[in-house]
Amino acid sequence: MLSLAIRMSSSMAARSCRLRIASRSFSVGSQLNNKVTVLGAAGGIGQPLSLLLKESPLISQLALYDIKGVMGVAADLSHVASRAEVTGYEGPDKLEDCLKDSQVVVIPAGVPRKPGMTRDDLFNTNAGIVADLTSAFATACPKAMLCIVTNPVNSTVPIAAEVLKRRGVYDPRRLFGVTTLDIVRANTFVAEAKGLDVNKVSVPVIGGHSGVTIIPVISQAVPGVSFKTADREAITRRIQNAGTEVVEAKAGAGSATLSMAFAAERFVVSVLSAIDGKRAVIECAFVESTVTEAPYFSTPILLGRDGVEENLGLGSLLDYEAKLLQSAMPELLANIDKGVNPAMSVGPSQLESAKHTSDREFQQQLTEEPIRKAFIRKVYSILCCQLLISGGCIAFFIFFEPAKKFAIKFQWLYIVVFSVLFVFLIVLSCFDSVRRKFPLNFILLGLFTLLQGFALGLVSARFKTDAVLIAVGVTAFVVLALTIFALQTKLDFTYLSGILFVLVIVLVAFGILCAILQSRYLTLVYSCLGALIFSVYLVVDTQLMLGGKHKYSVSPEEYIFAALNIYMDIVNLFLFILMLTSSEPQSGDAESGGLVDNGNMQFNEESIRKGFVRKVFGILTVQLVVTMGFIALFVFCQPIKQYAIRNDWLYILALVLTIILVIVLACCEDVRRKFPVNLILLGLFTLCESYMLGSISARFDTDAVFMAIGVTVFIVFALTLFAMQTKIDFTYLSGILFVLLIALILLGLLCAIVQNRFATLAYACLGALLFSVYLVVDTQMMLGGKHKYSLSPEEYVFAALNLYLDIAVTASLLLTVTVIALGSSFQFGYQTGVVNEALVLIGNYTASVALNRTGQPMSDTTIETLKSVVVAIFPVGGMVGGVSAGYLARRLGRKGSLLLNNVPMMLGSGLMLLCAWVASYELLIVGRLFAGLSAGVSTGVAPLYLSEVAPQSLKGASGTLNQLAIVIAILVSQLLGLDFVLGTPDRWFYLMSLTLLPSCLQLLVLPFCPESPRHLLLDKSDSRLARSALVQLRGESSEVDEELSELAREADPPPEPMSLRKLLCTPHLRYLLLVACAMQLSQQLSGINAVINYSTEIFLSANMTQKTATYATIGIGCVNVLVTFVSAAIVDKAGRRTLHMCGLAGMCLSAGALTVSLVLHHNFQPVVYSCVAFIYIYVVFFAIGPGAIPWFIVAEMFNQAARPVAVSVAVLVNWAGQILIGMGYPPVLAQLKDYSFLPFVFLLLVFFLFTWFFVPETKGRTPEDVEMVARERTGTVQV
């Protein structure tokens, strides 16, 4: 229990206060002249707060301020019979007059919370208000007490402190974040639970004022109370989520205004009592603090005449409370950092949305013209020195022959220099304290520039002198032109920073792919993309430096950071231009890394292979022993454990060294094979990796660490045995796994941003699954023998490191199917899912446009109608596109159709993006129509293309990639649509138009992919091009000739294009068309869309918060993606028909069980958890079969002549089913309510029986084989 008596005098007043924190019983012996000012007095909190303050006998003058509406409030309050004299001040020009001579200033001004908003979301609008009001406070009454009520308090208090610091009037004793409402709630809830008098209960609350940062210290409650663990956790959650409880209960009509006013008045009275000389006045408040690592923290504080007299600290915490504190710190520190660095997180457009029109003095502190100009001069001075040094290094290496020969001879030197540069870059980018410390920052920047110049010289020495000089000239011209453009343009490019970062990651992945394929054309595309991205980066970084009108800017203190950014933009631009202007052929072996084809492997003797395996496992055993030793040391040795937790920089250093060593060992074959250098480097790598694992383990419970070790040992042992015994060859998955690894890294970054337990759990599951498969692949590559690919026995170090590459042939097929899936199917899935995330914002945008046009608000009915049009126009366009898919595929080819199909998608995305600048919801509707048109073509051509380019053994997996891309796109749209990513009023335009990126990617890369061999031979009768395409997809092997012979037999006689009429008049083809249409309907009428739309409501019924329910719905998308992966892996083994029936049967049973649970959960609440389970089970079975199989089974059932027409009809039926379910389900839900899933039970049973009796299996069969089955069933067998 918090012992206040020890911290205060032994007087009776102090002992009495220990029983009632911040007692409100006070006496007024004399008439005090205290002036209290309320800023934002006309708002939802300001009005009741002003009323309560008017009744206080401690206040003689009550000044009320707001932008508008405050004069009526002042007049109203002036009729209340009390001592305080009320004066109203309206408008920015009256603000300083209002503040003069104030003793206490309270700021409740700001935008209230709305459903789905967190306190962090409020920062985007409320930060500017607090900054402006605090700036006026600093001018008019800097010695007054400043009480911040405006949320999020965790961020608004730091931003107020920064304003006061810059004005030179900051006094940490006089700045308070009012968290009293948390104490009021804690007192109320504890008193209710224990049946106590709430006026005699006092529960300290520490931490912050949002969500998990609110930490009620129930163990220190007065009087002492005890709870069971479950009850204590429940009451803690209720206190933390009490604000959300009120917001949701008010259903958008406001936030906790009345209780907040009550709490704020209590705190102001306590401050006034302390000013009046009352002793032992104690309140909890969010103030500057050294109690924890957070610079601001809420604890009980002793108030005096000058503000905070003493911070009473944390007191004694239970383990449960200590864990709450530990888990709250990351979020609290992030909230504080957002307030400390507001210039980088608050833009003018966001501040404008606050409807606050006073001067932005706080923003102007960083953008005043003299300061900004001096900053720009300093940046360009540094940049000129850097460019001169770099130019001198380049000239030295290209004109001085000994230096040039030295650079060419010692190629490993570039790797060393690059590694050191990487370390310098991390230090200068991530450690702002180092970057701002003179002269250390200049020393580090100078060393970095010298090393970068040396590296540029080493690179330039490998190119012809003419090419280097041309690249320098072109770079200089481009930089000059782009700088002038950035200075003159009215367009703000600074908002592109996040998108460019994602594109750089994609560019890195693309660069690795180019290094694998060693293709001149791909390298050309890579160079163009790189030059384009860093050209835009140069504009963005220049505008960030300029500040002023731009959305984001760099602080003038960050001249090193600004110069470094622009310098790196110019360097990267030069390198990519150099690659473009040089004709030097790319060098390197396609089999770098030790990966060889078993057909040409020289070391396939059994004895050599066994020795190789023993050596690898010997090295691996030593590595694991060392790693286990480090983990044990960090887990059991408390001093080392605490040291690791306190010193994160050692972990970062180990991480950097690990990355450098991995690059060296993976890329430098001569180093990797040179004894003893290879073992020394591998030993250093093992030590660094072991330190990282030990440091991570120190942050977890010992039981959890050893449980993880036990599970890992079991899985590794089981998978190693499986890899040795299985007849399935997993080595061909190398390329796919590499792509998934990149996706996993991006998901990890997203999880780090979101900080959500469910997202982290999904990320951990996906990572464990991915690296389990990687373990099997690596083991098989090491074993060699029967497997398609293996490692050379010389590569024992490489094998022990688990680094491996894919070869060009497999990568070509992978590249083709990936580009098709990403550039076509992904767009369809993204545009299908993204509208659900942005629909509310679209409605608000529509209402705003109408109001600006006519001056009259649009009716709710009209808004809902327009929203429905935005949603429904997409499938209408899809139907049109689907009908034309077959014709386009036949006339233009599969590749040509998809290339042309990018035009309507880019046009539609561009129109939706244009809505950001042109107030027109008509553009949005037309854009959605064009996007639907493109999606319709994609749904017909993409599965067809994927099916025709894949080998027979992988047709199912390749076809499933179509659905995989769709569900990944839906998941991406859900994540990007979150209200702290792109789901905001000023960003949803970019959310809707992001399909521009995959369209551009497909336009750039698809031309280098092969056309469908089947189309080339059967439709175009070009056997030469068909063989060339097959070689590109399969490599030079006997499979090419066999597949070509099979196609030739199908082409004899040449097939004639078939019309729909002829197809319907042919009995066996009509039968197959009926099957194809039924398969499409089984997907759309399965009820999957209804289940997903109904899921959020079910999650809310399970006592989840709105935010948790949103993440649980995203979890459905994650499950859909994960199980689609599983479906892709097993579809070629299990068969299409079998998987489809399993999916339909599982969905039918799940829908029935879900209906029963929905009916029962009203009477028996725990049943709602079974509803949640059945939703996830339903999605699992959908992803197993009905989600993917209907898309590609059509292409497998029809021959070349009938396939385009059949695909068009099937796609048309699919889109029609989507429209039917979209329009038909809401009335069914309204009528049947909890029984609304019964129709789906019936439909799923019908489709299951139909599949059982009528759908033929296509696994391992050619279209001719399937047609033969259809002939038999229709009695039209040819003799």
Q: What is the set of active-site residues?
A: 182, 209
C-alpha distances out from residue 560 to 161, 281, 376, 447, Å: 25, 47, 11, 13
Side-chain-facing half-sphere of 1040: CA atoms under 13 Å: 17
Cβ proximity of 1268 and 960 under 8 Å? no
**Rounded to an integer, what distance in angstroms lies between the CA atom of residue 443 and that of residue 925?**
56
**Rounded to an integer, what distance in angstroms lies between the CA atom of residue 159 and that of residue 128?**
9
Q: Which of 1159, 1135, 1147, 1142 is nearest to 1260 (CA)?
A: 1135
- What are the DSSP calls for 649-703, one per residue? HHHHHHHHHHHHHHHHHHH-HHHHTSTTHHHHHHHHHHHHHHHHHHHHHTTS-HH
Pairing of strands 145-148, 104-107: parallel
The 8-class DSSP code of residue 1036 comes to S
Q: Which of 145, 241, 132 is nearest to 186 (CA)?
A: 241
Cβ proximity of 119 and 151 under 8 Å? yes
**Rounded to an integer, what distance in angstroms lies between the CA atom of residue 33 and that of residue 41?**
21
Q: What are phi and psi of 858, to 5 degrees?
A: -80, 145
Cβ proximity of 1163 and 1117 under 8 Å? no
Q: What are phi and psi of 203, to 5 degrees?
A: -120, 110
**Rounded to an integer, what distance in angstroms lies between the CA atom of residue 1055 and that of residue 1078?**
26
Torsion (CA) 1094, 867, 991, 1224 in degrees, nearest 10: 40
Q: Identify the helix (H) or strand (E) that includes residue 790.
A: strand 789-791
Q: Which of 566, 506, 511 is nearest to 542 (CA)?
A: 566
Tokens of 993: 């138009």
Side-chain-facing half-sphere of 196: CA atoms under 13 Å: 20
HEC readout, 127-174 = HHHHHHHHHHHHHHCCCCEEEECCCCHHHHHHHHHHHHHHCCCCCHHH
The CA-based diameter of the chain, rounded to the nearest angstrom, is: 116
Cβ proximity of 124 and 112 under 8 Å? no
Q: Using alpha carbons only, how large is the chain's radius of gyration in Å?
A: 34
Q: Which of 1227, 1208, 1088 is nearest to 1148 (CA)?
A: 1088
Tokens of 469: 């000089």
Peptide bond into 330 cis (omega under 30): no
C-alpha distances out from residue 602 to 457, 607, 778, 780, Å: 39, 13, 19, 17
Q: How many other C-beta atoms are found inside a 10 Å radius of the C-beta of residue 522? A: 22
Cβ proximity of 125 and 111 under 8 Å? yes
